[in-house]
């Protein structure tokens, strides 16, 4: 049987345990896989068509949208070469978590930015452990 790249890509996105989210040039969610459901608590139906604001803490939204709009305008991002970005995020129930993610910019047939995909992983436990260790180290060196 010949290799079916479309089927491979769909299976990979659907089955990936990490969250895979794609937002269009306006920041509306167009892809929300099972990993995103597990990580953020929104069903696919709840997330599709919504703004990325549903997972961005309120105090970070202005900064996020400034960078997002600039990336859509210029096609340039500091994070598109596999760099890992660590940021706080928010779940449906309002709890905060720490995520690490990489992005993949998408362009349309006209060469203009069409959107961005992000592959996200929950690193809250590791972040909390590091913070506790730093606090313990600081207290022991007093």
At 111, which CATH number?
3.30.450.20
pTM for this entry = 0.86
Question: 3-class SS at 116?
Answer: strand
> Of 23, 33, 45, nearest to 117 (Cα)?
23
CA-to-CA distance for 88 and 103, rounded, in angstroms? 16
Q: What is the mean pLDDT of residues 78-103?
A: 90
* 124-140 tens-digit pLDDT: 888 777 777 777 777 77
Q: What is the pLDDT of residue 107?
A: 93
Q: Residues 6 or more apart from 98 whose CB is under 8 A from it?
A: 86, 87, 88, 89, 122, 123, 124, 126, 127, 128
User: Any idea what the Cα angle at residue 84 is, between residues 80 and 88, rounded to 5°?
Assistant: 115
* 2-35 tens-digit pLDDT: 999 999 999 999 999 999 999 999 999 999 999 9
Q: Which domain holds residue 68?
A: 5-140
Number of domains in the chain: 1
Q: What is the pLDDT of residue 136?
A: 76
Q: What is the mean pLDDT of residues 50-61?
A: 97
Instruction: Give, for 137, the enclosing helix (H) or strand (E).
Output: helix 124-140
């Amino acid at each position: 049987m010949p290799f079916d790249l479309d089927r491979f890509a769909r299976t990979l996105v659907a089955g990936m345990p990490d969250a895979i989210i794609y937002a269009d040039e306006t920041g509306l969610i167009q892809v929300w896989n099972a990993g995103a459901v597990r990580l953020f608590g929104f069903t696919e139906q709840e997330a599709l068509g919504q703004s990325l604001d549903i997972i961005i803490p309120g105090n970070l939204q202005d900064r996020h949208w400034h960078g997002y709009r600039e990336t859509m305008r210029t096609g340039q991002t500091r994070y598109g070469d596999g760099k890992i970005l660590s940021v706080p995020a928010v779940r449906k129930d309002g709890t905060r978590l720490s995520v690490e993610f990489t992005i993949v910019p998408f362009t349309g047939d006209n060469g203009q930015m069409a959107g961005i995909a992000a592959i996200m992983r929950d690193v809250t436990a590791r972040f909390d452990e590091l913070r506790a260790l730093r606090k313990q180290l600081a207290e022991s060196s007093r």
